[in-house]
């Protein structure tokens, strides 16, 4: 929904989940020296070979040629593709939507030092209930709770260094115009009424698959889904969620129920999930720091004077 709202702006194009951004960054050491055309061609080939590339409606050969002719950085190659996506709609600004990016804001800001991050926050009880209904989510409620907590904590940490803009889902659907006016101002843009009617563009932009996608395609913003966790979460899940996330929830204005406390068994299982996933995230950070020691080229995009200036500061 928020992707469509921003994409409805006449100056902004928000691409669907491409999945090649992080992959290209992780594989950056495999492409060799990007000062060499062969290195840029290898990078370009990896990007256009991504199955998600087809979502963008771009010509593979043309993109390869433009990347090879572009600046020798991974950020530039990704930016060239997303810029071409924005060009399809005659728009100068571009972005990409992917929920899992909260774990990699440090990577995104390396690639695009002048970027603005928009983080949408929703009642975790509704998030957990929604994931329970998704056939592709098989990890269970312990992981769902941790993902919500981790997203809040990592974006809060990132906001101390970078421009992270937060939008509360419940406020957005209750007052689309008011919230989008504030977001537009933060992004340095003028609000336009089309942003509050994202369903008009849904058929053109949103993939026609999945229950959640169909709802976005068919309905305007609505408050009907607020509190949809009722009747979906089991009593232990509600108690568990509010016990683990209560402090964070209250900071965002989410009222707690009298669900009580979960059993020690649930808390112990969650502690194991949280420790395991936290350790995995730390390992990813350490691996990234180690790989940076061997980078043959800078990674920041160099497509505009603002990016070049921001890259030098970063």
> Does residue 308 register a pLDDT over 90?
no
In a 10 Å sphere around its CB, with 0-12 CB exposed, 13-18 middle and 19+ buried, how is residue 251 labelled? exposed
Q: How far apart are CA 293 and CA 288, in angstroms?
A: 9
Token readout for 263 is: 């059993």
Q: What is the pTM of this model?
A: 0.92
Q: How do strand 117-121 and strand 12-15 relate by DSSP bridges?
A: unpaired
Question: What is the rounded distance in angstroms from the CA atom of residue 45 to the CA atom of residue 20?
Answer: 11
Q: Is the pLDDT of residue 209 over 60?
A: no
Split at pLDDT 50, 70, 90, the class of 211 is: very low
Distance CA 201, CA 216 (A): 10
The mean pLDDT value for 250-263 works out to 95
Region 226-247: mean pLDDT is: 96
As a whole number, the mean pLDDT across the chain is 93
More confident: 214 or 307: 307
Each as own residue / partner, the long-range contacts of residues 211-219 (CB below 8 Å, 24 or more positions apart, any chain) are 211/133, 211/134, 212/130, 212/134, 216/1, 216/4
Q: Could you state, in order of their start, the residue ranges of all structural domains in the chain? A: 2-313
pLDDT class of 214 with cuts at 50, 70, 90: low
What is the mean predicted confidence (pLDDT) over 184-202? 92
pLDDT at 217: 55
Report yes or no: 8 and 223 within 8 Å, Cβ to Cβ. Answer: no
- Which two three-digit tokens encode residue 90? 């005659």
User: Are 7 and 14 within 8 A, CB to CB?
Assistant: yes
Dmax (CA) of the chain: 63
**pLDDT at residue 206, as a whole number:** 62
The pLDDT tens digits for 278-289 are 999 999 999 999
What interhelical angle do 124-132 and 235-251 show, nearest 10? 140
**How does residue 5 score in pLDDT terms, banded at 50, 70 and 90?**
very high
Q: At residue 220, does pLDDT exceed 90?
A: no
Enumerate residues 6+ apart whose C-beta is below 8 A from 258.
none
Across 123-145, average pLDDT? 94
pLDDT tier for residue 45 given thresholds of 50, 70 and 90: very high
Whether the predicted pLDDT of 165 surpasses 50 = yes
Q: What's the rounded mean pLDDT across residues 70-93?
A: 97
Is 2-313 CATH 3.40.50.300?
Answer: yes
Give residue 313's pLDDT band: very low, low, confident or very high (50, 70, 90): low
């Amino acid at each position: 929904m928020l992707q469509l709202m921003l994409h409805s702006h006449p100056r902004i194009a928000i691409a669907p989940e491409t999945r090649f951004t992080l992959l290209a960054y992780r594989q950056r050491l495999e492409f060799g020296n990007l000062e060499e055309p062969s290195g840029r061609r290898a990078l370009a080939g990896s990007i256009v070979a991504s199955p998600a590339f087809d979502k963008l409606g771009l010509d593979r050969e043309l993109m390869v040629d433009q990347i090879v002719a572009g600046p020798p950085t991974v950020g530039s190659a990704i930016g060239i593709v997303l810029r071409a996506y924005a060009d399809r709609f005659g728009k100068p600004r571009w972005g990409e939507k992917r929920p899992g990016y909260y774990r990699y804001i440090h990577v995104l800001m390396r690639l695009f030092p002048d970027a603005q991050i928009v983080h949408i926050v929703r009642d975790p009880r509704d998030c957990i209930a929604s994931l329970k209904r998704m056939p592709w989510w098989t990890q269970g409620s312990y992981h769902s709770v941790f993902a919500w907590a981790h997203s809040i904590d990592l974006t809060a940490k990132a906001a101390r260094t970078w421009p992270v803009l937060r939008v509360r889902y419940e406020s957005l659907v209750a007052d689309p115009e008011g919230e989008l006016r504030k977001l537009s101002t933060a992004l340095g843009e003028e609000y336009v009424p089309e942003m509050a009617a994202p369903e008009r563009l849904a058929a053109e932009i949103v993939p026609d698959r999945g229950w959640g996608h169909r709802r976005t395609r068919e309905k305007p913003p609505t408050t009907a889904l607020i509190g949809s966790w009722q009747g979906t979460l089991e009593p232990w899940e509600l108690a568990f969620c509010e016990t683990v996330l209560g402090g964070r929830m209250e900071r965002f204005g989410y009222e707690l129920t009298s669900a009580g406390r979960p059993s020690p068994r649930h808390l112990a299982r969650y502690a194991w999930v949280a420790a395991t996933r936290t350790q995995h995230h730390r390992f990813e950070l350490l691996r990234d720091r180690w790989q940076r020691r061997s980078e043959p080229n800078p990674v920041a995009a160099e497509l505009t004077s603002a990016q070049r200036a921001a890259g030098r500061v970063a």
